[in-house]
Chain A
Amino acid sequence: MSNNRVAVMKTYKLLIGGEFVRSESGRSYEVQDADGAFIANVAQGSRKDVRDAVVAARAAQPRWQNATAYNRGQVLYRLAEMAESRRDELVHQVKAAEGLSTPDAESTVSASIDLIIYYAGWTDKVAQVLGGSNPVAGPFFNFSVPTPTGVIGVLAPTSSSLLGFVQTVLPPLCSGNAVVVMASEERPIPGLLLGEMSATADFPGGVLNIISGQLGEVAPTLASHEDVDGLDLTGASIEQAGEWARSAADSIKRVFVPRSGDESLSSLRRLRAFIETATVWHTIGQ
């Protein structure tokens, strides 16, 4: 192989409805590593891309919700398998994006993959832990059944490009929600890579949609979109979070804002954030 081979540069694309698409606006932007060196061009999503992603998520959500918890667990586990087999690529990109040492990047990727497996295990335990049967004064069973909220908009953390992405995206997916996630504006590549892996992990198209681009431009559309049922504001600044929580309130969305200070990766807060509780009555038969 000679050195004068033409470089093959990858442009990262959006993931909408199970397809990797350029932005409908035709725009892209340059992503730099922690030292300011060029890494790659990334599609710059627009408001219309968000709209398309929400349409895709809405269409895909019932099937994901109605899949058995066991099956959802298998799909999430498969995502971990895909990530494991491409871990060198992930390590390379996390290292570039966050400016970490190789061992730190290695351990971040390991933690991310472990977290995916953690949530893969949760899929068939959500109903047992967060649901229950309630004592009632009558000849009835009364169950509290956790059900997914629906379509969730997620603003992934800006600094933690992979672990933060997994931490915000997996909990709503685990319980049967469809997700439209804004990847970190400055460090989108690890999240987009995970999206590529999801395409070979048997996710129904549209369950996980990833938009990269300018947070300030695109997030307001996600926050105000009436067909989005929940909003995770992890990636927003305090001012942005306040503003977008207000526009989310117009359509009565569930809004999740992380608590200040450290948050344990295994906290149930995120899992619980996008779950509704349905109460079911059933007569006690003989």
Chain B
Amino acid sequence: MKSKVGDHAQSVDNVVTLVTSPGPRIDSEAHLVATLKALPGVDAVGVEARVAKLATRSIKTSAKKEALDLALSMVDLTTLEGADTFQKVRSLCTKAMLPDPRDASVPSVAAVCVYPDLVALAKDVVKGSSVKVASVATAFPSGRASMKVKLADVEEAVSAGADEIDMVIDRGAFLSGQLGRVYEEIVAVKEACGTAHLKVILETGELVTYDNVRKASWLAMLAGADFIKTSTGKVSVSATRPVALVMLEAVRDFADVYGQKIGVKVAGGIRTSKDAIRYLVLVNETAGSAWLSPDLFRFGASSLLNDLLMQRQKLASGVYVRSDEFSVD
């Protein structure tokens, strides 16, 4: 194990002594609890200072252009409203494939993210393109349903053709210490996903502390998540950069231990290009440049896309753009 500074080295070493690879990573609830307990606490002040420091990086001109295009290609264009209609999802999917109809050099976004009953429609519209269809499932956003219902939710989305499943963890169980239960749910959902990628939503706004975020990140990764995701976007506190930093440290450490790269998706409240670029700086400086790809980092957002397009056009023409230049979804 190469040695790194601070709590990183400590966290990896602690975990290494507790998990045995190859073979099952976790063989009992006691093993899981011990593993998570061995994670060191998060230095909250340090995390926030580091985030503030990295936010001062200035990304301009050609680097900015590259960052904007990269961010565009990482967007999970999302609509998760009770008022979603077929027409809205159809127009969203069209926009996902061709974000700016006047400019073919704009990359298509990574995926569209919809409710399970709209997956089949979305799949039909994006057929033949690189855009994936992600579906929230497991009684999104609260996760308050029986296991049977959650699995049925997943199976319906998968059989409708979802490429990616965004599940929510049972925060109530997590906060009351039933870690085994949360773990088993993720394992069961992962199985129900089949070949679909699984993103596990931690809903960090409800986890209260950074320590819990770190713990939940490891729990989800150990249980087989392909991605860990910050938020549903349905509670008042959504993605924040300090939380993203903690999660990025977790995927970095996990990759050091298992050699497996887990993705991170930040969702909720990211509306401006400036914000998005700050996240990209965090990704690069924490997890590393390998994560600067739609395969390993995503933005769950809707209004962000228009701002990225506006900034992109501003960069090309030098003129600030009207917000109604782009379709509002």
Task: Kindly state whether residue B319 has any CB partner on chain A within 8 Å.
Answer: yes
Q: Number of B interface residues at 8 Å Cβ cutoff, please give it.
A: 7
Q: Convert B280-307 into 0s and 1s, putting 1 for each residue whose CB lies closer than 8 angstroms to a CB of A.
A: 0000000000000000000000000000
Query: Is A46 in the interface zone, CB < 8 Å from B?
Result: no
- Complex-state Cα separation, A250 to B319, whole angstroms: 10
Does B322 touch A at the CB level, under 8 Å?
yes
CA–CA, A224 and B323, complex, Å? 14
Q: Which residues of A contact B325 (CB under 8 A)?
A: 226
B320 within 8 Å of A (CB atoms): yes
Query: Is B152 an interface residue, CB under 8 A from the partner?
Result: no
CA distance A251 to B321 in the complex (A): 9
CA distance A261 to B219 in the complex (A): 77
Residues of B within 8 A of A227 (CB): 320-323
List residues 218-255 of chain A with CB under 8 A from any CB of chain B. 221, 224-227, 250-251
Interface of B is mostly: loop
Name which residue of chain B comes closest to A221, CB basis.
B320
Question: For residue A221, which residues in chain B have a CB less than 8 angstroms away from its CB?
Answer: 320
Contacts of A226 in B (CB 8 A): 319-322, 325
Tally of chain A residues near chain B (CB < 8 A): 10
Cβ–Cβ < 8 Å partners of A22 in chain B: none
| A51 beta carbon closer than 8 Å to chain B | yes
Which residues of A sit under 8 angstroms from B320, Cβ to Cβ? 51, 54, 221, 224-227
Residues of A within 8 A of B318 (CB): 224
Instruction: Determine which residue in B319, B320, B321, B323 has the highest number of CB atoms from chain A within 10 A of its CB, and name it.
Output: B320
**Minimum C-beta distance from A218 to chain B (A):** 13
A227-B323 Cα distance, complex, nearest whole Å: 7
Does A58 have its Cβ within 8 Å of any Cβ on chain B?
yes
Residue of A nearest to B325 (CB): A226
For the complex, what is the distance from the CA of A224 to the CA of B317, rounded to whole Å? 10
Contacts of B322 in A (CB 8 A): 226-227, 251
* CB atoms of A224 and B319 under 8 A apart: yes
Give chain A nearest CB distance to B55 CB in angstroms.
Answer: 15
Q: Which of A54, A224, A227, A250 has the most CB of B within 10 A?
A: A227
Quote the shortest CB–CB distance from B221 to chain A (angstroms): 40
Please, how many angstroms separate the alpha-carbon atoms of A221 and B321 in the complex?
A: 11
A225–B323 CB distance below 8 A = no
Cα of A32 to Cα of B187 in the assembled complex, Å:
72
When the two chains form their complex, are residues B319 and A58 in contact, meaning their CB atoms are under 8 A apart?
A: no
8 Å CB interface, B308-325 against A: 318-323, 325
Residues of A within 8 A of B321 (CB): 226-227
State the CA gap A227–B321 with chains docked (Å): 6
Q: How far is the CB of A180 from chain B (nearest CB, A)?
A: 12
Query: Which residues on the B side are within 8 Å of A54 (C-beta)?
Result: 320
CB-defined interface of A154-177 with B at 8 Å, one 1/0 digit per residue? 000000000000000000000000
Cβ of B323: which chain A residues have Cβ within 8 Å of it?
58, 227
Chain B, Cβ-Cβ closest to A54: B320
Report the minimum CB–CB distance from A262 to chain B (whole Å). Answer: 35
Provide the bound-state CA to CA distance between A125 and B321, in Å.
34
CB-CB under 8 A from A225, the residues of chain B are 319-320
**Segment 46-74 of A: residues with Cβ below 8 Å from B:** 51, 54, 58
Inside 8 A of A51's CB, which chain B residues have their CB? Answer: 320
Closest to B320 in A: A225
Closest beta carbon of chain A to B188's beta carbon, Å: 46
- Write the nearest CB–CB distance from B40 to chain A, whole angstroms: 39
| A 205-223 to B, binary, CB cutoff 8 A, 1 in contact else 0 | 0000000000000000100
Closest-by-CB residue of A relative to B324 is A227
A202 to B320, CA, bound (A): 30
Q: How far is the CA of A11 from the CA of B322 in the complex (A)?
A: 33
CA distance A54 to B318 in the complex (A): 16
- Complex Cα–Cα for A202 and B130 (A): 52
A234 smallest CB distance to B (angstroms): 22
Alpha-carbon distance A58/B320, docked complex (angstroms): 13
Least CB distance from A62 to B in Å reads 13
The interface of chain A, by Cβ under 8 A from chain B, is 51, 54, 58, 221, 224-227, 250-251
Q: Sample 9 A-B pairs with CB under 8 A, ordered by A number.
A: A51-B320, A58-B323, A221-B320, A225-B319, A226-B320, A226-B321, A226-B322, A227-B320, A251-B319
18 further interface pairs, Cβ-Cβ under 8 Å (given A225-B320, A227-B320)? A51-B320, A54-B320, A58-B323, A221-B320, A224-B318, A224-B319, A225-B319, A226-B319, A226-B320, A226-B321, A226-B322, A226-B325, A227-B321, A227-B322, A227-B323, A250-B319, A251-B319, A251-B322
- For the complex of A and B, the 8 pairs showing the least CB-CB separation, nearest first, are A226-B322, A225-B320, A227-B322, A224-B319, A226-B321, A51-B320, A226-B320, A226-B319
